[in-house]
Amino acid sequence: MTTTMIDSVTMFRRDLKHALRYPVMTISGIGTAVLFLLLFVGVFGNALGADFLPAGAGRYIDYVAPGVILMAAGTGTAATAIKINQDMLEGIIARLRTMSIARMSVLTGQVIGSLVRTLLSGILVVLVAVALGFRPSATPVEYLAAFGVFAMLTFALTWMAVAFGLATKTVAGANSLTLILQFLPLISSAFLPTDSMPAGVAWFAEHQPYTPIIETLRGLLMGSGIGDSAWWALAWCVVLAAGGFFWSRALYNRPRGA
Amino acid sequence: MSAIEVSGLRKAYGKHTVLDGIDLHVAEGTVYSLLGPNGAGKTTTVEILTTLQAPDAGSVTVAGHDLATDPEGVRRSIGVTGQFSAVDNLLTGAENLQLMADLLHLGKRAGRERVAELLERFDLVDAAGRIATTYSGGMRRRLDLAMTLVGRPRIIFLDEPTTGLDPRSRHTMWQSVRDLVAAGTTIFLTTQYLDEADQLADRIAVLNGGVLVAEGTPAELKRLVPGGHVRLQFSDPARLEHAAVRFADGTRDDEALTLDVPGDGGVGTLRTLLDRLSHERVEPDGLSVHTPDLDDVFLALTAKSPTLYTKDGVR
């Protein structure tokens, strides 16, 4: 166990150096989330807020910001999947496989790196949202819980992204698969309440993983009701994280070639 | 004790058989070369021996560890420099070596000392702080080998270590291999260059179409093909005819106007031949000595493979 941790930290340091020397992927992940924030607050904000939010629901930016903040967790997955996919094509990983090191550290190092980068992206998106007028009403404990929700989702999505990166043969394929994670929030309660949608879409939006997670975050930051969303959020994150982890492990340990 | 012991090794991808029952025995502290044309199964063999691929059948022991039951033991004993550069492109030379030292848990001080030592030994001190993408082919290969050596492995696998290198870098690589063997390391080397195997290897196995077609020391292999000869070159058919009648054991080529007379090319046999030439009044325009080399062996043994000299061919 300790070897796994030591080796993971070593691999995390490698990932950190990569991110500093080749920051484009990290920046584009943050950029996508910020762009959505500007699009929905600046471009659609007035129209959507006035027509679709129930009366007394408050300002649209306060409604939409939690969802877009969580989008940052999704957009960060592209960098992770691409990075893993590229790595597997490089000779260095073949070398590591022939060495007596903690096997999973190649992946866990990447997961820690992605986690750190995406959490920083999330904080940056929050700051942009605040600059645009987002005013959370959370207490310090609620802020901490909100951070926990974001970290939990990021952890789960990162493991899925690692599996995507391992499962695909090309960088383009890896990137395409993560589009599911990146754009799934578009059909959720992120931008509008689900009851404003047609029945079929509303059903999907209510039952997909992002919605309970968004509702939980919104509840913590804005004081809207959470209900059983927190349990659903937790369940989804555990399922996604475990699924991603075991899928990744199976893919990484399968023999090459064939 | 033997460093590598392989028997009945088989590997197929679907219906395509890559290795069809290979037996290898590599003695400790020697250079063993696996020689073969592109697509013969060299890289597959190395990938199986280094735990990257699982064999379909056969038993493999590396450094006394059974590959099937103790792959970690194998990994602890080996170092691999693959055919494709196994360096981290976004890290500097020093960081690449440090990464190896950290993953091998050498400890802070010992790790740093080892990194400095290897940078010095492979002439990479000046380039230590530069990112690997800026390295030349020869420098990358040196860094690659240096990374393999960080953990002082007892057995080193070199998969086509000089493919694509310029002559100077090739000789540097050869010297490194000789230094390693002198220090007691076992080297398992694959190559498609005959002179490389001839220069470095204690024993050579020729792999063709998934089976070993020959195995032995370079000298033993050379004995497998017909001996050397002296080639006499003539300027007109009449003179060739004149010579051919007098040297009945020669092999004549009427188009090239040459006559190959058997002989090992030694000074004694040459002197005898020259005396006989003047005695018989045979006056060739030119004379050249041909000793059998591994090329002859290789071409004779792998004759069915037309891909032999396509160096950039698909594998």
Segment holding B286, helix H or strand E = strand B286-290
Distance separating alpha carbons of residues A138 and A150, to the nearest angstrom: 15
Q: What is the total count of domains within chain B? A: 2
Residue B284 lies in a domain: yes
Last residue of a domain, one of B222, B243, B261: B222
Does B75 contact A94 at a Cβ distance shorter than 8 Å? no
Tell me which amino acid residue A249 is: R
Domain boundaries defined on chain A: 2-253
Question: Which residues on B lie below 8 Å from A257 (Cβ)?
Answer: 13, 44, 47, 53
Residue B160 lies in a domain: yes
Least confident interval from A27-41, A131-145, A196-210, B241-255: A27-41
pLDDT of residue B92: 95
The ipTM (two decimal places) reads: 0.84
Residue A153: Cβ-neighbour burial (10 angstroms; 0-12, 13-18, 19+): buried
Residue B304 lies in a domain: no
Question: Which residues on B lie below 8 Å from A99 (Cβ)?
Answer: 75, 100, 103-104, 151
| Pair (B38, B156) in one structural domain | yes
Mean pLDDT across B183-205? 90
The two tokens of residue A50 are 């006035």
| Pair (B218, B236) in one structural domain | no
Residue B308 lies in a domain: no
Distance from CA of A1 to the nearest CA of B (A): 14
| Pair (B218, B233) in one structural domain | no
Residue with the bigger pLDDT between B312 and B144: it is: B144
Distance from CA of A93 to the nearest CA of B (A): 8
| Pair (B88, B234) in one structural domain | no
Question: Which residues on A lie below 8 Å from B88 (Cβ)?
Answer: 14, 90, 92
| Pair (B209, B260) in one structural domain | no
The domain that holds B52 is classified in CATH as: 3.40.50.300
| Pair (B28, B141) in one structural domain | yes
pLDDT of residue B315: 34
Distance separating alpha carbons of residues B71 and B43, to the nearest angstrom: 18
Span A221-257, pLDDT tens digits: 888 878 888 899 999 999 999 999 999 999 998 765 4
**In this structure, are strands B57-62 and B2-13 parallel, antiparallel, or unpaired?**
antiparallel
| Pair (B82, B150) in one structural domain | yes
Span B261-312, pLDDT tens digits: 887 667 888 888 889 888 888 888 888 887 777 777 777 777 654 433 333 3
| Pair (B88, B196) in one structural domain | yes
Span B96-106, pLDDT tens digits: 999 999 999 99
Residue A54 has pLDDT above 70, yes or no: no
Residues B6, B205: contact at Cβ < 8 Å?
A: no
The two tokens of residue A73 are 């967790």
Last residue of a domain, one of B194, B222, B250: B222
| Pair (B150, B270) in one structural domain | no
pLDDT of residue A222: 87
The two tokens of residue B122 are 């492979």
Mutation pick from A2, A87, A95, A103 vs chain B, by most beta carbons of B within 10 Å, is: A95
Last residue of a domain, one of B222, B249, B279: B222
Domain residues for the domain of B142 are 2-92+134-222
| Pair (B7, B75) in one structural domain | yes
| Pair (B187, B43) in one structural domain | yes
Residue B303 lies in a domain: no
Percent of chain A with pLDDT over 90: 40
Tell me which amino acid residue B47 is: E
| Pair (B239, B193) in one structural domain | no
